Amino acid sequence: MAQRTLRGTGATPRSGVGTVVWYGRDISLPDPDGAVDPDAETERFVDAVGTARAELEAEREATAERVGESEAAVFDAHIQFLEDPTIEDAVETSIADGLDAANAVDDAFGEHIEQFEGMDGRMAERADDLRDVRDRLLRLLTDGERVDLSDLPEGSVVLAERLTPSDTAQLDPERVAGFATVTGGRTSHAAIFARSLALPAVVGVGEELESVEEGTEVVVDGDEGTLLIEPSDDEREAAAADSGATVVADAVETADGREIEVAANVGRPEELEPAADRGADGVGLYRTEFLFLDRETPPSEDEQYEAVREALDTFPEGRVVVRTLDIGGDKRIPYLDLPEEENPFLGERGIRRSLDPDSDLFATQLRALLRAAADGAGDLAVMFPLVATVEELDAALAALDDALADLEDRGVDAERPEVGVMIETPSAVFMADELAARVDFLSIGTNDLTQYVMAADRENERVGDLHDPTHPGVLRAIHRTVEAAHAADAWVGMCGEMAGDPDLTELLVGLGLDELSMSAVTIPDVKAAVRETEYSTASELADAARFAATRSAVHDALTQ
Amino acid sequence: MSHERVVTIVPEAGLHARPASAFVQAVNDHDADVSAGPPDGDLVQAASMIAVTSLGAGQGDDLKLVAEGPDAEAVLDELERILTTPEEELDA
């Protein structure tokens, strides 16, 4: 297929070049020269067609009900392609000649896909339909084995419908040159993951992405938000040479002397060193979920202790803010056997789950943290996610006191770290003065705060415009939080994606944030932006932005 | 004995998408062998969605239909109805 460009949303201001590996198509064809039993292969083919037909009928019904009859009609066409006599004849002939069912299907469809691709407009779209039907059959015929994300060839560009947190947890950043997804926006998990590893990524490309074939060479341009299929030599070289902004290792202050801590959001131990290399003063958000994912049993206290120690020893002069376990929502952990919830983002997640009296997960984690605080080189801070009430905070603080007393009783070295609350719910914003009076700091999680203030799902592109922290409603929530923290002599940080946007640094400094924590990739850009900022003008800008009535008025203020 | 008919295509989409689905469905629902194609060209197997789609027949084009078998007349009536019904009225 010829050179072309697909557009999506850039997740990382980086480019990379590599070879397409599809994840989630679940297909790897057997050796076509392998010996097969034609009767058995024919039976497998017939069974697969039957199963595929049942799947398509079910999807047709569901779509007709949810979306509408005319949208469901595409499944009728798929059923007809599935049972097309031309395909059936070709497959049965190939099998009789000794080919296995999967390769026979691949060949039979391949010929017609090519034929339709050569035509224009509506005809070319039929190639996508045929691909869909082919992949459905091949998934069934190859037992649906997925590509192993932890064992990809070097220089792979992963393409997928979407990548879940457990998918990205398996990706080896050394081997992956970038990725692109059909769905997702700037704050989707896949995008955040890409930024934390400075991995080139484009999300929300749309269904057009599915037309990119396995093995194609592509450039992922996370700055422009484009995917170049079969790039020219110049484009390929430019992408391969991209290495980003200059690292600033020192702590930074504004031009008029206000210190701003610039820290990294980290989700896995492998990200600690790269964060330090990119000039992070410390860690402003250490997500501890990685300790719990992809395993059969919960991690022990010692294992958690070691992981936090490692982080503290990576930043001996800095501070590491650890968020206690934030499961629930969309992060599933099989061995915890958590109940299915109708609406997990409004369910038992974050601190709500940790305070479950039937579970000792929280107490174990707190003991590990208190021990690491005593032994680690850097300064530990601990914060609780998704707090909505003072009662929750009081219960969490009591659990911390209990864990400390428990360790001291046993003569184990332990130290009480700084303690903070994440501000992610509208209730926490309204109660920020009461919360701040009880802790050392507040940290504003703008991804969830925006989601809950605007009532807009962060993974749903249809409400992507609402999921924007520069809406005045969100800015006023941030302002109110900062005022409440400072009135209670607490420091206040921000650890959402907003903090990592250098175009918003002046606004955030002006709003009074003391710390900004972000995916490591943009730390140099934000440090440079802090140095260029005058606090006095920044606070005028912040006032103008928060008094604006509309998002466009906010943007006007920001660009003046 | 085979039955023949030439029909001018009415749906805006031509023999694509929903009209094509309905067309192939009708062929498969009847006991008859049906071929279709341009009046002066090669005919293809009308039971094959791939073959029918690749005819690329558009609105206003003439389509020749040839049917053989017990349901030959019935299937031609049904196919003519599909080919002469505007797409938005095709739900019947």
- Give me the residue spans of the domains in chain B: 3-86
Query: What residues of chain A, 527 to 546, have a C-beta less than 8 Å from chain B?
Result: none
Proportion of chain A above pLDDT 70, given as a percent: 93
Does the predicted TM-score (pTM) go above 0.80?
Answer: no
Query: Which of B18, B25, B49 faces A81 most closely, judged by CB atoms?
Result: B49
User: Cα–Cα distance between B34 and A22 in angstroms, integer?
Assistant: 40
- Regarding beta strands A283-287 and A319-323, do their DSSP bridges make them parallel or antiparallel, or are they unpaired? parallel
Q: Give the right CATH number for A4-24+146-241 from 3.50.30.10, 3.30.450.20, 3.40.50.300, 1.20.1560.10.
A: 3.50.30.10
The CA-atom distances, in angstroms, between B29 and each of A88, A191, B47, B78 are 18, 49, 10, 10
User: Cα–Cα distance between A560 and A16 in angstroms, integer?
Assistant: 34
Query: Which of B17, B50, B56 faces A86 most closely, judged by CB atoms?
Result: B50
Tens of pLDDT, residues A476-489? 999 999 999 999 99
Query: Which of A80, A86, A123 faces B21 most closely, judged by CB atoms?
Result: A80
Span B3-86 CATH architecture:
2-Layer Sandwich (3.30)
Span A252-559 CATH architecture:
Alpha-Beta Barrel (3.20)
Cβ pairs A/B, distance under 8 A: 45
Query: From the candidates B35, B49, B55, B90, which should be mutated to test the interface with A, based on the most A CB atoms within 10 A?
Result: B49
Lowest mean pLDDT among A137-151, A389-403, A408-422: A137-151
Rounded (10°) angle between helices A446-454 and A472-487 = 120
DSSP structural state of residue A257: S
Q: Are A359 and A324 in contact (CB under 8 A)?
A: no
Tens of pLDDT, residues A540-558? 999 999 999 999 999 999 9
User: Which fold does the domain A38-141 belong to in CATH?
Assistant: Enzyme I; Chain A, domain 2 (1.10.274)
CB pair distance less than 8 Å for A86 and B13? no
DSSP three-state, residue A423: strand
Domain boundaries, chain A: 4-24+146-241, 38-141, 252-559
H helix or E strand, kind and range, residue A108: helix A101-117
User: Cα–Cα distance between A157 and A171 in angstroms, integer?
Assistant: 11
Complex confidence, ipTM: 0.89
User: Cα–Cα distance between A2 and A213 in angstroms, integer?
Assistant: 12
Report the gap between the CA of A113 and the closest CA in chain B (Å). 10
User: Cα–Cα distance between A419 and A414 in angstroms, integer?
Assistant: 15
Q: Taking residues B16-29, what's their average pLDDT? A: 87
Tens of pLDDT, residues A303-318? 999 999 999 999 999 9
Q: Which residues in chain B touch residue A119, judged by CB atoms under 8 angstroms apart?
A: 54, 56
Could you give the angle at the alpha carbon of A192 between the alpha carbons of A187 and A193, nearest 5°? 150
Tens of pLDDT, residues A29-88? 888 887 788 999 999 999 999 988 988 888 788 767 755 676 677 788 889 999 999 999
CB pair distance less than 8 Å for B50 and A112? yes
User: Cα–Cα distance between A455 and A467 in angstroms, integer?
Assistant: 8
Residue A187: pLDDT over 90: no
H helix or E strand, kind and range, residue B91: none
Q: What are phi and psi of B88, to 5 degrees?
A: -70, -15
DSSP structural state of residue A331: B
User: Cα–Cα distance between A477 and A363 in angstroms, integer?
Assistant: 32
Report the gap between the CA of B6 and the closest CA in chain A (Å). 23
